[in-house]
């Protein structure tokens, strides 16, 4: 059943392939670096977003396996990959401690940076971007945080963003 779901998801995601605006996705990804702790770009073979994540995990990052689980992919230390909804991606970025707390740990009420990041993320609506979560984010005291992925299935680019800083 799980394999059938993965195949159906892969098929449906390829239907939107022609409507992907790679320039828009790249532009937003470049701007989003201002609102995240760190960012990376990966180039893989253009395919469905799910297969692109799998190629990134197994061929470029040398993961020993690829575990797809939407439910746990956004959790700390889950070790899983997943495709997520745009609303979840926006909430993830806008709600990050990186944007809502200062260097001293004091909360920034109505953070202008968080609002700007959410607006930037919303500008991706209709671009064909697919959002994902991956266990390749910041590491704090041996705990791995998930990274937000922006996946461009037309160009084969995966943009990875850490919303937490590393360290202990």
pLDDT tens, position by position, 108-158:
988 999 999 999 999 999 999 999 999 988 788 888 889 999 999 999 999
Q: Which residue has the higher pLDDT, 48 or 139?
A: 48
Question: H or E segment at 140?
Answer: strand 139-140
**Is the separation of the CB atoms in 93 and 32 below 8 Å?**
yes
pTM of the shown model: 0.84
The size of the chain, in residues, is: 168
pLDDT, mean of residues 78-94? 93
With b for 16 or more beta-carbon neighbours within 10 A and e for fewer, the 118-131 pattern comes to bebbeebeebbbbb
11 band by pLDDT with thresholds 50, 70 and 90 = low
Q: How confident is the model at residue 16 (pLDDT cuts 50, 70, 90)?
A: very low
> For 48, left (φ over 0), alpha (ψ -120 to 50), or beta?
beta
Q: What pLDDT score does 168 carry? A: 62
* Dihedral sign, Cα of residue 102, residue 106, residue 112, residue 116: positive
Distance, in Å, from the CA atom of 127 to the CA atom of 16, rounded to the nearest integer, reads 10
């Amino acid at each position: 059943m799980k394999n059938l779901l993965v195949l159906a998801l892969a098929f449906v995601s390829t239907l939107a392939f022609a409507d992907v605006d790679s320039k828009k996705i790249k532009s937003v990804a470049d701007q989003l670096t201002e609102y995240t702790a760190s960012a990376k770009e990966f180039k893989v073979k253009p395919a469905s977003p799910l297969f692109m994540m799998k190629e990134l995990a197994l061929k470029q990052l040398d993961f020993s396996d690829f575990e797809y689980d939407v439910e746990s992919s956004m959790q700390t230390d889950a070790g899983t990959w997943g495709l997520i909804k745009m609303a979840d991606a926006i909430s993830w970025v806008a709600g990050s401690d990186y944007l809502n707390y200062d260097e001293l740990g004091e909360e920034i009420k109505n953070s202008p940076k968080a609002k700007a990041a959410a607006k930037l993320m919303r500008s991706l609506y209709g671009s064909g971007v697919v959002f994902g979560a991956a266990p390749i984010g910041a590491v704090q005291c041996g705990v791995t945080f998930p990274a937000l992925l922006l996946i461009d299935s037309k160009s084969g680019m995966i943009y990875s963003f850490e919303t937490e800083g590393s360290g202990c």
